[in-house]
Amino acid sequence: MSTAPPPAPTPAPAALSSDQQEIKIISHSNLFYWWPVWAVGLLMALLTFMDGHIGTVVPPKSEAHESAEVTTKGGGTTFNKRDVIVLPAPKEGENRPAPHLKLHMSHSSSYGVIWATTLLLVITITNVPLRGMWSVVVIVVAVLMSIIFALAGWWDTIFFYMSALDIRINAGGYLFVSLVLLAIWLVTMILFDRQIYMIFTPGQLRVCQEIGGGESSYDTAGMVVMKQRSDLFRHWILGLGSGDLVVRTSGANSHEFQMHNVLFVGRKLQLIEQMQRDRPVVRGAV
């Protein structure tokens, strides 16, 4: 009499790692992409301080003279062969204070041009979406236009007129704008953006769509999660690998959620797909 071998034990499903138990998706505002503005502004402020030059404000009709001889008030010290700026004579009864040399200013106007160009580029990139092939089209057109300008000899003329562009900001101006923008950026990133989120757990999705709003729960069975086409300039150059997610729930009351500007979107999408594949199965009593 033979006996049948006992059935092999069913292997238990692999336990999810700690980073897969809960996957939080945070939708960031477009202000996240403005980090180059405050970063370049702080760099320009540092370079301006290191430059060591000082700027001042003089009244209209002031005159610049080269190699002048200047004697201080009361017949004091005499300076020979100095470049000076002569202020106009004050009007009768006018009490005009002497100019104060306290504005840290660079001798080069390129710092202001770089910061202004960065600001304009960020404004354009964050407000003009160029997804998929549009990014490639813009790059190809820019390269072709550069070649055409070079063959036509227009670059010399463009650079000549651009060299006349003089944008100067003192170090205090750079610091004020950059530090205020940095503070707003940090508060938005750390506090406000984290109030709009999705939390994926095995078998469940929790969604909060507005600041101060409550959560809604959905079953992940049949749920579709996909990433929209990337914007090369916004998502990769400024966003460092961010992207937009679209989530569609299943069932009679299906919903579609769009989560914009999700950081490390590729890695988050892989974890969500793995969680859906490894969804635990609840065994009923036999």
pLDDT, tens only, 62-74: 788 887 777 777 6
Q: Considering only CA atoms, which of 27, 18, 9, 4 is closest in space to residue 245?
A: 27
The arithmetic mean of pLDDT across residues 158-168, rounded, is 76
- Closest C-alpha among 48, 285, 57, 32 to residue 182: 32
Q: What is the predicted pLDDT for the residue at 45?
A: 92
Task: Extract the tokens encoding 37.
Answer: 């503005």
Encode pLDDT of 101-143 as tens digits.
777 888 877 888 889 889 988 988 888 877 767 677 777 777 7
Q: What are the DSSP calls for 208-229, one per residue?
A: E-STTPPPEEEE-TT-EEEEPP
Confidence of residue 236 (pLDDT cuts 50, 70, 90): confident
Say if domain 19-29+192-277 classifies as CATH 2.30.29.30. Answer: yes
Task: Tell me the C-alpha distance between 61 and 80, whole Å.
Answer: 24
User: Could you tell me the two tokens for 98?
Assistant: 């002497």
- Tokens representing 96 are 């005009």
* pLDDT given at position 279: 60
Confidence check: pLDDT of 5 > 80: no
Residue with tokens 């989530």: 247
Rg (alpha carbons) of the chain, rounded to whole number: 32
Determine which of 39-43, 45-49, 279-283 has the lowest per-residue pLDDT on average.
279-283
Query: Hey, which residues does 54 pair with through a beta bridge?
Result: 104
Rounded Cα–Cα distance for residues 226 and 244 (Å) = 9
Highest mean pLDDT out of 16-20, 188-192, 250-254: 188-192
Amino acid at 36: P
Per the prediction, the chain carries an average pLDDT of 79
What confidence category does residue 2 fall into, taking pLDDT thresholds of 50, 70 and 90? Answer: very low
- pLDDT tens digits for 179-214? 999 999 999 999 888 888 888 888 888 888 877 777
Q: What dihedral angle (degrees, nearest 10) is formed by the CA atoms of 72, 76, 77, 81?
A: 50
- What is the mean predicted confidence (pLDDT) over 40-46? 93
Per-residue pLDDT of 209-234, as tens digits, reads 877 777 888 888 888 888 887 777 88
Which helix (DSSP H) or strand (DSSP E) does residue 200 occupy? strand 197-201
Contacts of the segment 216-220: beta carbons below 8 A, 24+ positions apart = 218/249, 218/255, 219/249, 219/250, 219/251, 220/275, 220/276, 220/279
pLDDT at residue 281, rounded to an integer: 52
Across 171-183, average pLDDT: 93
